[in-house]
A and B are shown apart, each in its own frame.
Chain A
Amino acid sequence: MGLERAFADEPAFVPYLAAGDPSYEASLEYVEALARGGADVIELGLPFSEPIAEGKTIQNAIVRSLEAGMTPDRFFEFVEDLDVDVPLVCMTYYNLIYQYGEGDSESRSDSENASGETASQGPRPFVEKAAAVGIEGLVVPDLPAEEAAPLRQACDEFGLDLVFIVAPTTKGDRLERMLEQVSGYVYVQARLGVTGAREDVDDATEESLARLSDWDVPKAVGFGIKTGDHAERIVSAGADGVIVGSALVDIVAEGHENGDPVDEVADRLEAKARELKDGALRGAAERPQPERT
């Protein structure tokens, strides 16, 4: 488990794109552009048909990717085809993880044991495959700590980090329960709601960071970060990294709608990535220096 290393020396820039949006080949180019622009960890979305935690921007990206033929197996091929030297995290919903490796319904019923469970039922086959292709961590927005034990066990077995999301509403006992499960980094949700770029930075971010101040795990803030200035403010407020999705997906969507050449869109993504990474670095420079003793 090693995602923490990405946050060790400087604030991490963690971009998100839906894998396969708007096509398999273009998406490879786009992810590689993010790496060139300074990504420290890349979150790759494996599209699920019912993405209840996503706003319109990422919902639409998921629809484009599914329509272009993305499946869990294609996703793993995608990861293998990527030419990047950056840790990769898979962000998806639990049903795809739970179903992976079960085969069709006929073979499922054939392999049922006495208790009605199948030999491959549960998250283990997915995690095993993810580890084999080089995925280092998972983010599962519809899997709270209460339901995470089977996935946590599989991630431990195959050496993957399991990243949890802390919301502005997460307080008290829930924080303690979550701390027992977190590894890699914690995804700090900057404000209530679903994903989507915003024009401002919510005060809830600073409050959430303050609640987590004694957690010995990197804290990456996501939801609504759109510009280098946002990244600067978030990091100067104490975040160890920034997670940016919708603002990047917007660039992909606009390029797709306008029929722009893939390399031009990739250049824009690289430039945006650099802007966000530079903002995060500026934020780190502005932090109060620890007092010398």
Chain B
Amino acid sequence: MSTDDAHDPKFGEYGGQYVPEALMPAIEELTDAYQRYVLENEDGFMDEFRERLADFGGRPTPLQYADQLSARYDTDVYLKREDLLHGGAHKLNNALGQVLLAKYMGKERIIAETGAGQHGTATAMAAAHLDMPCEIYMGETDIARQRPNVFRMRINGSEVNPVTVGRGTLKEAISETMRDWATTVENTHYVIGSIVGPHPFPKMVRDFQAVISEEAREQAIEKTGGLPDSVLACAGGGSNTMGTFAHFVDDDGEPRSPEQSSDDEPRDRVDLYAVEAGGSSLQVDEEEGVAPNSATLSTGDEGVLHGARTKLLQDSDGQIMESHSVSAGLDYAGVGPELAHLVDEDRVTPVNVDDDAALEAFHRLSQDEGIIPALETAHAFGYLEEHHDEVGDTVIVNVSGRGDKDLETVIEETSKRDLDIAPDMSIFERVGGGGL
């Protein structure tokens, strides 16, 4: 776990607390709770969290050697299988942590926002597991393209509130959830779904997700005798990314201080690649306020959104642009402030993969390895396909989630393209059904 000061809200110039005054006392209360329960394990909070992650969540998840991909790329490819976590995505790590924390804090109600629906699903599951009432805000565009997850939230007993303003995606859902929180802050905890938002959320969410890299690092040493050359993770808001990178960030090839060094700790350089959604193009249409991508780390400029100073997709006036990705989970105009900082420090390399390459990678992983990945995850594999010569001899790719939720989107988007790798979908036409 992090040894950061819970009361330092910044990562370099990024981060901070840019929220309406009504929320500030709740954020101070949360910062205090983060310090006591998460960083200092008061009342055994972290012990209970880890126990529930194991028993309810199914941790640890495996680090699996990928035979076919390794042969294809002549590189040892290891898959961190967060898709095998309960709920089918890494999101449960954070949702369970925050709902449990809310319970320790004496809150009576949970709210959350969701884009692809994985965070909403994880929060709904955690809330049901811990017996807390829960409401989820979700853009109507995302509701339409992520119906299975909407059903799962409802089945788990959560209310799903459609957000109709703007383009109806994650950006609007976050704004709407902040409005709810501003009204109900005295008894409600807002479970932010990524390493975004005001301090302490970026640090706290990272710490809950850091279990991914903690396990992956130990598993890599155990399986290979050393550290990987590279770690790849897809990046939207960045929770899966920072969770996958957190315990590798210090593996930067720099000499350690005497206190940190030990004989069994490898000190190699591990390259960290944050794979963003290149969408249909990296070019923007400023007049329309649209970026046909979600490549915030690669193309964004510094600004303030949803409580934090970070890199954003925005026009020259500072109005936030509508982003785009074939993957709802990456479709966000901001990114976590810690990632923005690590990119500026040259510790994390931002790269991007367009919609077509992500779809191809979706089909390739499904066919070659028998793993149907989330479309978010497919972006990381799209990068590996194009750049496997550059990532070294051993690479870990985080399989951030499973792709069941994306099947309707994949059918629709695949049918629009001429992808050699895609299966013949005409069976659906023959039996007269297009949807699932």
Q: A52-B175, A95-B305 are in contact. Are A166 and B21 (CB under 8 A)?
A: yes
In the complex, whether B434 has a CB less than 8 A from a CB of chain A is: no
Name the residue of chain B whose CB is nearest to the CB of A168. Answer: B22
User: How distant is B346 from chain A, measured CB to nearest CB, in Å?
Assistant: 12
Write the B145-183 contact mask toward A (1 if CB under 8 angstroms, else 0).
000000000000000000001100001000100110011
Interface size on A, residues (CB 8 A): 48
* Chain A residues within an 8 Å CB radius of B303: 95, 98-99
* Chain A residues within an 8 Å CB radius of B21: 141, 144, 164-167, 169-170, 178, 189
Q: Is the interface of B mostly helix, strand, loop or mixed?
A: mixed
- Interface contact B171-A167, CB-CB below 8 Å: no
* Chain A residues within an 8 Å CB radius of B16: 146-147
- Interface contact B318-A170, CB-CB below 8 Å: no
Write the B97-135 contact mask toward A (1 if CB under 8 angstroms, else 0).
000000000000000000000000000000000000000
Partner of A53, one of B20, B184, B302, B344: B20
- Interface contact B178-A52, CB-CB below 8 Å: yes
Most B CB atoms within 10 A — which of A50, A71, A105, A189? A50
- Interface contact A143-B18, CB-CB below 8 Å: yes
Name the residue of chain A whose CB is nearest to the CB of B12. Answer: A116
In the complex, whether A5 has a CB less than 8 A from a CB of chain B is: no
Partner of A108, one of B23, B175, B182, B301: B301
* Chain B residues within an 8 Å CB radius of A171: 25
Partner of A99, one of B175, B182, B318: B318
Q: Which parts of A124-153 form the interface with B (CB within 8 Å)?
A: 141-144, 146-147
- Interface contact B317-A72, CB-CB below 8 Å: yes
In the complex, whether A68 has a CB less than 8 A from a CB of chain B is: no
* Chain B residues within an 8 Å CB radius of A121: 302
- Interface contact B318-A53, CB-CB below 8 Å: no
In the complex, whether A194 has a CB less than 8 A from a CB of chain B is: yes
In the complex, whether A287 has a CB less than 8 A from a CB of chain B is: no
- Interface contact B305-A50, CB-CB below 8 Å: yes
- Interface contact A169-B26, CB-CB below 8 Å: yes
Most A CB atoms within 10 A — which of B20, B23, B318, B319? B318
In the complex, whether B306 has a CB less than 8 A from a CB of chain A is: yes
- Interface contact B317-A167, CB-CB below 8 Å: no
In the complex, whether A216 has a CB less than 8 A from a CB of chain B is: no
Write the B220-240 contact mask toward A (1 if CB under 8 angstroms, else 0).
000000000000000000000
- Interface contact B318-A98, CB-CB below 8 Å: yes
* Chain A residues within an 8 Å CB radius of B175: 50-52
Partner of A50, one of B17, B19, B171, B302: B171
User: How distant is A248 from chain B, measured CB to nearest CB, in Å?
Assistant: 20
* Chain A residues within an 8 Å CB radius of B179: 52-55, 193-194
In the complex, whether A100 has a CB less than 8 A from a CB of chain B is: yes
- Interface contact A193-B305, CB-CB below 8 Å: no
User: How distant is A221 from chain B, measured CB to nearest CB, in Å?
Assistant: 14
- Interface contact B17-A192, CB-CB below 8 Å: no
In the complex, whether B185 has a CB less than 8 A from a CB of chain A is: yes
Write the A190-202 contact mask toward B (1 if CB under 8 angstroms, else 0).
0011100000000
In the complex, whether A174 has a CB less than 8 A from a CB of chain B is: yes
List 17 A-B residue pairs with CB atoms under 8 Å apart, sorted by A's residue number.
Answer: A50-B171, A52-B175, A52-B179, A52-B182, A55-B179, A96-B317, A103-B316, A116-B344, A141-B21, A142-B304, A144-B17, A144-B20, A165-B20, A170-B22, A178-B21, A194-B179, A194-B182
Contacts A102-B316, A167-B22, A170-B25 given; 11 further ones with Cβ under 8 A? A49-B166, A53-B179, A72-B318, A94-B18, A95-B303, A95-B305, A95-B318, A105-B316, A147-B16, A167-B25, A178-B21
Tell me the A residues contacting B by CB distance below 8 Å: 48-55, 59, 63, 66, 71-73, 93-96, 98-100, 102-105, 108, 116, 121, 141-144, 146-147, 164-171, 174, 178, 189, 192-194
